[in-house]
């Protein structure tokens, strides 16, 4: 599967996801739901690598993206203006997306997966609170929390359908993409979610840069040496999270 076809698969899934949660009134006030292209790409890793992917898996993958859309909608609610009409509708949008994921999976009778994904949402909420409370978490604990928040529902989805071999690369890639995005935004004085809420990160930007370099180096080695991934997918992964093509990485290595 070449790069153009990989991109087409992701775009088709994104359109399907948005169709599942199209609601004119909500979108008028809250905008298009947040479906992150990179996260969707890594949700589809098994499909893009040629694994068996039936209707049940398709519905489940869409549902996972709806969970993240719901979480993103709730994150946009501003604490200092939560009673405004637009903010109340933002809450309703998140609830609506969450309800749709449940509805889709229930229709397929995927009760066990519903339970597992519900557990993952609870864990995400728990770990997000680490960036609001005053407990003394370590640098490593906060990094682990970010990884969980960014990838736990996809991990549950992969494990449910026995795509176990894709979990590590997916988790590391999404962690790397998130840390890079956060650091670039923070250095430009733009809005961030994790760094702006963490004095520990703000005091240790050099440590964060070293962590990013460490994760990227290890991920590149894992992708390059993988016997699981096809060559086109290796290229696509590195281009999305490392901003380097596979040939560039090979030359630099």
Backbone angles phi, psi at 203, to 5 degrees: -80, -15
Model pLDDT, residue 88? 82
Q: Please, which contacts does 192-201 make with residues 24 or more away whose CB atoms are closer than 8 Å?
A: 193/75, 193/131, 194/131, 194/142, 194/146, 197/131, 197/132, 198/131, 198/142, 200/137, 200/139, 200/142, 201/139, 201/142
Model pLDDT, residue 243? 64
More confident site: 79 or 13: 13
Number of residues in the chain:
253
At residue 245 the predicted structure's pLDDT band, cuts being 50, 70 and 90, is very low
Mean pLDDT, rounded, of the chain = 90
Is it the case that residue 80 has pLDDT exceeding 70? Answer: no
For 49, what's the count of Cα atoms within 13 Å in the CB-facing half-sphere? Answer: 22
Model pLDDT, residue 81? 58
Count CB neighbours of 208 within 10 A.
22
More confident site: 30 or 236: 236
Is it the case that residue 244 has pLDDT exceeding 60? Answer: no
Backbone angles phi, psi at 108, to 5 degrees: -90, 0
For 3-53, what is each residue's pLDDT tens digit?
888 989 999 999 999 998 888 777 777 788 889 999 999 999 999 999 999
User: Would you say 127 and 145 are in contact if contact means Cβ atoms under 8 Å apart?
Assistant: yes
Model pLDDT, residue 84? 67
Is it the case that residue 247 has pLDDT exceeding 60? Answer: no
Model pLDDT, residue 161? 98
Model pLDDT, residue 104? 96
Residue 242 three-state SS: coil
At residue 54 the predicted structure's pLDDT band, cuts being 50, 70 and 90, is very high
Count CB neighbours of 178 within 10 A.
21
Go through 209-225 and write b for each residue having 16 or more CB atoms within 10 A of its CB, e for each that does not.
eebbeebbeebbeebee
Least confident of 12-16, 102-106, 238-242: 238-242
Residue 98 and residue 202: Cα distance in Å, rounded? Answer: 33
Residues with Cβ within 8 Å of 208's Cβ and at least 6 positions away in sequence, in order, are 179, 183, 195, 201
For 113-154, what is each residue's pLDDT tens digit?
999 999 999 999 999 999 988 788 999 999 999 999 999 999
Residue 223 and residue 237: Cα distance in Å, rounded? Answer: 8
Question: Measured in Å, how far apart are the chain's first and last C-alpha atoms?
Answer: 25
Is it the case that residue 83 has pLDDT exceeding 80? Answer: no
Q: What average pLDDT does range 217-236 have in this prediction?
A: 95
For 37, what's the count of Cα atoms within 13 Å in the CB-facing half-sphere? Answer: 11
Enter the pTM of the model.
0.91
| DSSP 8-state code for residue 31 | -
């Amino acid at each position: 599967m070449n790069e153009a076809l990989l991109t087409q698969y992701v775009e088709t899934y994104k359109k399907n996801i948005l169709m599942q949660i199209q609601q004119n009134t909500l979108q008028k006030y809250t905008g298009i739901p947040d479906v992150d292209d990179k996260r969707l790409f890594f949700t589809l890793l098994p499909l893009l690598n040629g694994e068996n992917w039936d209707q049940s898996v398709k519905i489940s993958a869409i549902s996972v993206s709806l969970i993240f859309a719901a979480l993103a909608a709730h994150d946009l609610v501003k604490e200092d203006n939560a009673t405004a009409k637009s903010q109340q509708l933002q809450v309703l949008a998140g609830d609506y997306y969450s309800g749709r994921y449940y509805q889709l999976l229930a229709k397929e009778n995927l009760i066990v997966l519903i339970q597992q994904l519900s557990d993952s949402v609870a864990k995400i909420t728990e770990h997000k609170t680490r960036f609001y409370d005053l407990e003394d978490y370590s640098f490593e604990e906060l990094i682990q929390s970010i990884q969980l928040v960014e990838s736990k529902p996809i991990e549950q989805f992969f494990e449910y359908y026995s795509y176990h071999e894709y979990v590590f690369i997916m988790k590391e890639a999404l962690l790397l993409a998130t840390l890079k995005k956060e650091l670039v935004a923070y250095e430009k004085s733009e809005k961030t979610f994790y760094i702006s809420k963490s004095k520990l990160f703000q005091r240790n930007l050099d440590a964060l840069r070293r962590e990013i370099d460490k994760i990227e180096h290890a991920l590149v080695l894992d992708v390059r040496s993988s016997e699981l991934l096809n060559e086109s997918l290796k290229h696509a992964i590195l281009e999305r999270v490392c901003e380097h093509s596979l040939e560039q990485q090979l030359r630099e290595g």
